[in-house]
Amino acid sequence: MKELMLIMIAAVLINNVVLSQFMGICAFLGTSKQLKSSVGMGLAVVFVMFFASLVTYPVYKLLERLGAEYLKTVAFILVIALFVQLAEMAIKRFLPPLYKALGVYLPLITTNCAVLGAAITNVDKKYTLAQSLTNSLGTGLGFTLALILFAGVRARIETSDIPETFKGVPATLVAAAIVSLSFMGFGGIV
Amino acid sequence: MNILEPMIFFAVLGLAAGVLLALASKIFYVKTDERIEKISSALPGINCGACGFSGCEGYACAIVNDGAGLDLCKTGGAAALDEISKVMGVEAAGAVPEKAIVRCKGDCNAARTKYTFAGVGSCAAAEIYYGGFKKCTSGCLGLGDCIKVCPHGAISIKDGIAVVNEAKCVGCGLCVRECPNGLITLRKVTNRVDYTCMSTDSAKQTIAACENGCIGCRQCERACPEHAVKVVNNHAEVDHSLCTSCGKCLEKCKRNVISIRN
């Protein structure tokens, strides 16, 4: 149990997928404009990561038995795409406003390297099923945390007086770098 | 290396995913307006974004849900407008296709330069330094900012100025926004006579700067029987609601500023 807790904390804070490993930046910058859409996006990623790792675990075991581990990327992408499609359909059905707010970023989870990154980390570190699920859940929550934090930062940027040349993307990128810097403080805790 | 087993494995995995998705699409089925699909298929589908929406699908949604204008897709042109009007049940107003025109003829043989520009190869950058390297501050700088945005490859640089290939131009208007001197505009193809100099300098300055620049001599204005040509801001302009494409202004112009096309 203690081990699982450590994996969780490491995934959420220390090896935060966006702010420490710099994966999934596209969706991070794209959907963090509003708090609401960032929460929605974060939860969609949690869903996809969790279920994708649930399925990629047996898939990888099977691939290992067939001696075809080298095909893991292809298989993982297939599984991830499946869950992204499912998540997209479900959101379109039950939360149309969120579907509209997320726009193109929702199908882009398919090619979001954070999701594939989580699945491959599970395999590389030879995690058991429970550990894999914990790690994926933690990674997803870390992604959500980063999005929510950054949505707050961006709301502040919107209302503050910044030089004309820095308005928009430059200010956002500088802010992202500073938020990322703050996460370095978690390094070495576990 | 064993190939057969992984192949079978992937086939099964793909099949399972496909079946699952098919089932899910039945369960999570959302009734969408069928007009959106029809309009989407009528649009060109290249997602150029010239209409101002996120893409062809976005424009189709905007037409049906938010009542956006039907004639915003320049790429699809009259054919797309016809189709969209049919779907929406409105009569299509006869749309005249438009083409981009670059209103400058100051090529490297005609226009003189005031300094050698060695900065970033972009008109916007050159424009910052004293209105560009040409003596004429309104002239085409020929560094190709318009070429970069043209999705159809219709603009090229010929003798140092931008030239539109009308066969390729669909009149999307992306280049219009890009030109720092505002030299590119869309003209209806039925407007055959047009002016090709935007210089606001005095006659003396223009003569010193460019051989093809309008000096505002008003010969064209006097020659026009319909009073369609007027000299405004030191260059000739054509009012297309009056112009009959008779070509009399062309004959009088000594500076090669007014042109006629087929």
Domain assignment present for residue A172? The answer is: yes
A97-122 residues labelled b (16+ CB within 10 A) or e (exposed) = ebbebbeebbebbbebbbbbbbbbbb
Instruction: Answer whether B9 sits within 8 Å of A92, measured CB to CB.
Output: no
Domain assignment present for residue A6? The answer is: no
Domains of chain B are 34-88 (1.10.15.40), 97-187 (3.30.70.20), 191-262 (3.30.70.20)
Instruction: Answer whether A89 sits within 8 Å of B24, measured CB to CB.
Output: yes
B254 SS3 class: coil
B107-130 residues labelled b (16+ CB within 10 A) or e (exposed) = beebbeeeeebeeeebbebbbeee
Which residues from chain B sit within 8 angstroms of residue A79, using beta carbons? 13, 17
Q: Report the pLDDT value the prediction gives residue B161, as an integer from 0 to 100.
A: 92
A68 SS3 class: coil
How far, in Å, CA of B63 to CA of A170, rounded?
A: 34
B8-30 residues labelled b (16+ CB within 10 A) or e (exposed) = ebbeebeeebeeeeeebeeeeee
Domain assignment present for residue A29? The answer is: yes
Q: Report the pLDDT value the prediction gives residue A177, as an integer from 0 to 100.
A: 92
Domain assignment present for residue A34? The answer is: yes
How much is the ipTM here?
Answer: 0.71
Domain assignment present for residue A50? The answer is: yes
Domain assignment present for residue A98? The answer is: yes
Range of the structural domain that residue A103 is part of:
24-186
Per-residue pLDDT of chain A (190 residues; tens, 9 = 90+): 888 999 999 999 998 888 888 888 888 888 888 888 888 888 888 888 998 899 899 989 988 888 888 888 988 988 888 888 888 888 888 888 878 777 777 777 777 888 899 999 999 999 999 999 999 999 999 999 999 999 999 988 888 888 888 888 899 999 999 999 988 888 877 7
Domain assignment present for residue A1? The answer is: no
Of B10, B24, B54, Cβ closest to residue A103: B54
H helix or E strand, kind and range, residue A159 = helix A129-159
Kindly identify which residue of chain A lies nearest to residue B26, measuring between CA atoms: A89
CA distance A46 to chain B (A): 19
Token pair of A52 as six digits? 């994708």
DSSP B19: H
pLDDT under 70: residue ranges of chain B: 1, 91-95
Tally of structural domains, chain A: 1
